[in-house]
Structure 1
Amino acid sequence: MSAQAPACQLLERQQDNYAALWVIGPPMDSWLSDRSNGVVSGDHEVLAEWAAKGKQASSPFDVAKGEPLGKEVVLFWPKAHQLGIWWLKWLCEQLPSGTPFEIVGEHQGGIKRVPKMLEELGLPWEKRDNARRCTLFTSHTASLDSPSGASETAWQSFETLGLTLVSHPGVFGHGKVDEGTLLMLESLESSLPKKPLKVLDMGCGDGIVSAWLAKRGHHVTAVDISAFAAEACQRTLAANGLKGRVLCSDVFSALEDEQFDWIISNPPFHKERDISYGPSQRLISQAPEHLSTGGRLVIVANGFLPYPDHLQRAFQDFHILADNRRFKVYAANQLSR
């Protein structure tokens, strides 16, 4: 069992004040999932933990506007401040004006900047508690004037590789294209068969790989653990008039025994401020089960990451497609079943 998050330790000091607690964007924390009535999160893993305990769990894109939450709403301040601002705007659109809510976060995560951001939005604040290098603020919702919806303005469109990408602050590489992804697509240009393939884009982000593949006639399934990424990928495909299936999934969890001709990924190795190789290791170790005979896994990674060892264990055959010193593109072939 993982240690209780510092922000949750701070909330535990206040637990007698919570009778119907809903948490917004929280970390994985067993005390919190036991204590709260419901969760709204963009993280599929978090939603699964709350749902497994019989709690209400929704992504922000699945909650109807005006749908009531609990009596006490606590927003966990994220690492990305623009995402935090989006959550504040979402709460103001979601809840009646004047609804109280709290914001909690770690000092190293930037919680001390929150009062200024609240003031810029015209929202009041008071400091309620401070411990464990965390602070808890109180505020309440207000009407934010925006013709297209205040939270909708966070979406950003930009052009690259002949595609329109739609991005959100909650998605990896918001507003720009990752250098490693560009290197991978460059290497795929010459190695990807022209015939239509059934391709899985694992960790789709804003959908650049999915759109690039779909534009070339391939049948794309895109998955990401982030609901923000899944929504961004769907918007990117729509913006380019392309089709593809987009799912929220913790690596292969939503795909059962489905198999693909190719699996393509720029796997993450960060979760908030922590380095985590877990998802990428599961991607590599479980990929053979989801590749048809003769299928191929292609991943791009920072050159220092220990992926060759994992590829060697999972596949009999792998090689380097591209290497620009900062990033390496690996290809592993499924020779037999």
Structure 2
Amino acid sequence: MSAQLPACQLLERYYGQAAQLWPVAPPEDAWLLNHSAAMVSDSVALRQQWQASDRLALTPFEPVNELPTDQVVLFWPKTHQLGMWWLAWLCHVLPANTPIDIVGEHQGGVKRVPKVLSGLGMVCDKLDNARRCSLFATRTVVMEAPDSAWETFDALDIRLVSHPGVFGHGKVDEGTQLLLQALETALPKKPLKVLDMGCGDGIISAWLAKRGHAVTAVDVSAFAAEACRRTLLANELEGTVLESDVYSALEGEQFDVIVSNPPFHQERDVSYGPSTRLINQASEHLNPKGQLILVANVFLPYPEKLQRAFGEFNSLADNRRFRVFRALK
């Protein structure tokens, strides 16, 4: 794990080494892991870290059967709508008047929390601030389940269902559009077994399924996986959708094509870890003569990674901002 994050440094300063927390939407942090018996996260990668340390890890889409006895701490996400969703979720699943603390970095928008809490009729006390982070205290109020956060919109003749925090929420990004244009001519007309790595709201999966391909979609985020399932259902399309930390849920399964618009951000930090594993391990999950097709911002170092992993690759499309790469097994 990386060095202790500023928000967790603030928690250590406030709670001390005796801290026992119940983090919600936490970051990856060794101190936090060691000071929590349970957590809730949409990230299967983070849940697996907690589970590997014999700690309870829940998704927001499963029931909370055991109420927390430790201090609940919500890590305020950079996406404001997602922070609102987590607050509503906590108020729905926990008894009224349950103490909740909220922590986050100033550049991530945590300074908006007092106004958000006031608008929801929730109390707010500022507990501490340091390391350009703030810590607030509040208590739950009675709320309905936050289902209204799901957003449905149409794009490219597909009905998309999305959720705050999912990549491309509410729109189809330019890179994905360039990728789909390239796939239109790059893929043969016969049905293929295709893996959509990092499926997001399911735009690529639905596009492929409409053209008769057998699609498996994976994403590290439970929000994204659920959005993809809802998108496929809304378009009366079939596909397998799994939560997976890159290839972790695929157990050696192989495909004719792996397609991806891989992420390179974790909150505000640049991270090439997932995309590097996507490229380096692709051959293990490709059938003979299979192909990896991905789109990326032109400034990202993917040509070097593709060269090392495959030896050869080519460019299918380039609009000066994004480039579509193809590598053959």
TM-score under structure 2 length normalisation: 0.97
In 2, are the aligned partners of 1:20 and 1:70 still within 8 Å (CA)? no
Q: Which of 315, 319, 329 is 1:320 aligned to?
A: 315
Query: Is residue 122 of structure 1 aligned with residue 117 of structure 2?
Result: no
The residue number in structure 2 matching 1:196 is: 191
Q: Secondary structure at the match of 1:7?
A: helix
Once the two structures are superposed, what CA deviation does each residue of 1:262-319 show, in whole Å capped at 9, x if it has no partner?
0000001111001111111111111011100010100000111111111111113311
Query: Is residue 265 of structure 1 aligned with residue 260 of structure 2?
Result: yes
Q: Which runs of 4+ in 1 moved over 2 A?
A: 13-21
Aligned length: 329
- Distance verdict in 2 for CA 1:19–1:29, change over 3 Å: closer
Counterpart Cα distance in 2 of 1:18 and 1:166:
43
AA at the equivalent of 2:48:
A
The residue number in structure 1 matching 2:172 is: 177
Once the two structures are superposed, what CA deviation does each residue of 1:187-206 show, in whole Å capped at 9, x if it has no partner?
11122111111100000000
Counterpart Cα distance in 2 of 1:29 and 1:316:
36
- Following superposition, the deviation at residue 19 of structure 1 comes to 6.6
Fraction of identical pairs, as percent: 63
Counterpart Cα distance in 1 of 2:234 and 2:114:
36
- Following superposition, the deviation at residue 171 of structure 1 comes to 0.4
- Following superposition, the deviation at residue 82 of structure 1 comes to 0.9
- Following superposition, the deviation at residue 99 of structure 1 comes to 1.2
- Distance verdict in 2 for CA 1:70–1:194, change over 3 Å: farther
- Following superposition, the deviation at residue 333 of structure 1 comes to 0.8
- Distance verdict in 2 for CA 1:281–1:290, change over 3 Å: same
Q: Secondary structure at the match of 1:246?
A: strand
In 2, are the aligned partners of 1:318 and 1:330 still within 8 Å (CA)? yes
Counterpart Cα distance in 1 of 2:220 and 2:232:
18
AA at the equivalent of 2:212:
G
Counterpart Cα distance in 2 of 1:216 and 1:37:
46
In 2, are the aligned partners of 1:37 and 1:70 still within 8 Å (CA)? no
Counterpart Cα distance in 2 of 1:273 and 1:19:
27
In 2, are the aligned partners of 1:83 and 1:169 still within 8 Å (CA)? yes
Q: Which of 240, 263, 278 is 2:273 aligned to?
A: 278
Gap regions ≥5 residues in structure 2: none
The residue number in structure 1 matching 2:102 is: 103
Counterpart Cα distance in 1 of 2:317 and 2:13:
52
The residue number in structure 2 matching 1:306 is: 301
Once the two structures are superposed, what CA deviation does each residue of 1:150-197 show, in whole Å capped at 9, x if it has no partner?
x11111000011111001112011100011101110111122111111
Q: Secondary structure at the match of 1:14?
A: helix
Query: Is residue 223 of structure 1 aligned with residue 222 of structure 2?
Result: no
In 2, are the aligned partners of 1:180 and 1:301 still within 8 Å (CA)? yes
In 1, are the aligned partners of 2:179 and 2:295 still within 8 Å (CA)? yes
TM-score under structure 1 length normalisation: 0.94
Counterpart Cα distance in 1 of 2:173 and 2:114:
32
AA at the equivalent of 2:306:
L
Q: Secondary structure at the match of 2:313?
A: strand
Q: Secondary structure at the match of 1:235?
A: helix
AA at the equivalent of 1:35:
H
In 1, are the aligned partners of 2:19 and 2:35 still within 8 Å (CA)? no
In 2, are the aligned partners of 1:184 and 1:300 still within 8 Å (CA)? yes
AA at the equivalent of 1:98:
N
Q: Secondary structure at the match of 1:36?
A: coil
